[in-house]
Structure 1
Amino acid sequence: MKKITILGVSSLFLLATLFTSCNSIKNANNTQKGAGIGAGAGALIGAIIGNNTKLGTAGGALIGAAIGGGTGALIGNKMDKQARQIDQALPGADVERVGEGIRLVLNENAVRFDTNKSTLTAIAKANLDKLVPVFNEYADTDIEIFGYTDSTGKPEYNLTLSGQRAASVKSYLVSKGLANSRFKTTGEGIANPIATNDTPEGRSQNRRVEFAILANEKMVQDAKKEAGQ
């Protein structure tokens, strides 16, 4: 199993203070992941991180939702477990623990889209099937799906196409029994490429979807009770 990248909220607080570029924290403990900033600081950091091409919009959404304190640490523990299970279920995916949530990048190794297409291939469906049991086990999470395109074509067209890609993934997961209310989809178009658009291979990687997996209100309230808040 590959190592899961961890971007802890303690370092992100420093980022918000100094306005420096973000760095991934390896082997951070759960307190570093979940405790260190409150929701207000999280919103500020989210705005900064959201414009960073490394983490993209999904990472910004996760940091912006940070709660911090003992509640955040307890949520972080659950997200650690879920991230490991996702990594085991789908080794080809890129799994990152960001703040109190999980950023999941499904690129060409997991969910690949052909140029100008939003339909899921048989391989894409098979890989999404591997995620369904994990998402079912951790039912107290919300999932935001962000669709992306390469730079081919007009930006306006790509924005629409990327939204259709995110919607295709959501529709398939809902068809497998996951609650529709857990999902939110957004098209990001050509924003935040993860590879060069100058080669066919790079463009293929950019035709992707990303997930931001975060605690829903029930998980938050349960964690607050457990933390004695």
Structure 2
Amino acid sequence: MEAILDLSMLPLFVSILVYLFGIFVQNKVKSPLCNPLLITIIIIICALLLTGYPNANYQASMKSISWLITPTTICMAVPLYEQLQVLRKDWKAILAGISAGTVASLFYILIMCRVLHFDAVLSASLLPKSITTAMGTALCAQTGGNEAITTAAIVITGILGNIISTPLCKLLRIKHPIAQGVALGTSAHVMGTAKARELSDLTGAVSSLSLTFAGILTAVLYPLIMLI
């Protein structure tokens, strides 16, 4: 009862209600642009600006559930286990696709940072944009990056991947569930996997595998690329 009455928890409850509202809007409108997370971010930012509520207080309220990020990511292994027999048949193609996508993403960001003359801090913050928040912020912290920028880059990448994945697959005529899963998991991490699970169980399982392997590969290559 005390937790409910504690006003410091109010931002948390408001954020949850706004997210549920975003889900309601998405179900009604049926448009990829009406992404619940995007709706929540826009509404919360506007609310903070209009009310003048301190961002530090809002962040403190969110810490009570931020620990859920890691176990939620681990739970992605469940659909992977369920589709294990199917995945064994095409594991070479899957790993090749994940590796190619991960390496291409890292070098694309590196080249962009060099062309735009970004400093080392900003470069270190943007490179892990295509992996989960838990892994991305950990890598960023180890190399002196800005965790806030990394988190923002990861969220934006996930939202964009979730929104444009369906029309992009149609445009490029990518119909195979394994190919869709590799693309979504490698490029758009958890948000992409959420979209993949809407398509099929197999697509979701491949996407779960992709985000996991892409995260591991990024962790291995990230320090090496920072030396370039």
The answer to whether TM tops 0.5 is no
Larger radius of gyration: 2
Choose between structure 1 and 2: higher strand proportion: 1
TM-score (norm 1): 0.30
TM-score (norm 2): 0.30
Choose between structure 1 and 2: higher helix proportion: 2
